[in-house]
Amino acid sequence: MAADTHAIIDAFQRARRDKTQVVLEGFHALKHALRFGAAVSLMVSPQPERVHALAQALAPDILPLLSLVAVSEECFAALAPRPPASPVCALAVRPQVALEPLARAEGKVVVLDRPAHAGNVGAVVRTAAAAGAAGVVVLGGVDPWSSAAVRGGAGLQWAVPTFYTDTYPFGEDRPLIAFHEKGAPLFSQALPPRAALLFGSERRGIAPSLRARARATLAIPMRASVSSLNLAVSVGIALYYDQWCA
């Protein structure tokens, strides 16, 4: 299929400013987006045959959904600040995640307070999806639907409800459990069945006003002199510990 280079570059540039669209960078982000029902409007690659080979080897279930537009290497290089090694980029409609179903859902919800690093946010989404969390809520900071966060999450934002807001959205029926270095040891107790697991930003931690609302504050034990764990690692420990206790 012939490509209009200028129109494609313009479409990607506009999508990065449009909160109703998502830019997908790389095969894994596209793979999971397609697998979990994303409405993808455009897929482009300078090496369509390589993308089809990747799909054949790693995700044959998405082969019928691939509709690639061939573009030049120069065009592809202009579509992302750091062009992905797996040569495909795409545009998708950003899902409208409703708060009500997320508030009523069974299981744990991960809450991030003002995260600053898109890669960490994406890794949290990826971990939450793998662990079967009910959802991920991001309170300010990095938008989990930004292209960098979706790249870090391998497109699994479509697999776990991912909600972005400025204010904490849940009531008392979803117990808020804060994770902080001064809390009680995580392994000393089980987590409430419908808990909201609250994690602070990489540098600022949890806002004091939000931490004060928590029903309990827990800490993940660490070796002396080690100052912190990666955000996604902390989330993974909490979610999988909860499964081991079940």
CATH number at residue 48: 3.30.1330.30
Comparing C-alpha atoms, which of 170, 153, 155 is closest to residue 213? 170
Which of 106, 104, 110, 105 shows the shortest CA–CA distance to 122? 110
Task: Determine the 3-state secondary structure of 100 from DSSP.
Answer: helix
pLDDT of 222? 86
CATH code where residue 111 lies: 3.40.1280.10
DSSP assignment of 31-86, as one string? Answer: HHHHHTT--EEEEEES-HHHHHHHHHHH-GGGGGG--EEE--HHHHHTSSSS--SS
Regarding whether 150 and 63 lie in a shared domain, the answer is no
Residues 115, 223, single domain; the answer is: yes
Same domain (yes/no): 175, 60: no
pLDDT in the model for residue 116: 93
33-80 pLDDT, tens digit per residue, is: 999 999 999 999 999 999 999 999 999 999 999 999 999 999 999 999
Same domain assignment for residues 75 and 154: no
Q: How far is it, in rounded angstroms, from Cα 246 to Cα 235?
A: 17
Residues 147 and 43 reside in one and the same domain: no
Evaluate if residue 168 carries a pLDDT over 70.
yes
- Of 93, 126, 150, which marks where a domain is finished? 93
* Nearest in space to 149 (alpha carbons), one of 164, 166, 165, 135: 164
pLDDT at 3: 67
Same domain, 57 and 103: no
245 has a pLDDT exceeding 70: no
For 51, the token pair is: 């993308």
Cα–Cα–Cα angle for 28, 115, 101, rounded to 5 degrees = 70
> Which of 70, 93, 116 is the last residue before a domain boundary?
93
Segment among 16-25, 124-133, 206-215 with least mean pLDDT = 206-215
Q: Element (H or E) spanning 176, and its range?
A: strand 176-185
What sign does the CA torsion over 30, 100, 108, 188 have? positive
- Residues 68, 116, single domain; the answer is no
Shared domain check, 115 and 195: yes
CA distance 197 to 191: 9
- Structural domains of the chain, count: 2
Stretch 166-173: mean pLDDT, rounded?
92
Q: Judge if 130 and 200 occupy the same domain.
A: yes
Regarding whether 134 and 66 lie in a shared domain, the answer is: no
In this structure, the answer to whether residues 139 and 203 fall within a common structural domain is yes
Mean pLDDT, residues 103-108 taken together: 93
Residue 2: what pLDDT? 47
In this structure, the answer to whether residues 71 and 115 fall within a common structural domain is no
> Which residues, in sequence order, are CB contacts of 61 under 8 Å at separation 6+?
35
Expressed as residue numbers, the domain containing 157 is: 99-245
Of 76, 93, 110, which residue is a domain's last?
Answer: 93
Q: Which has the higher per-residue pLDDT, 119 or 190?
A: 119
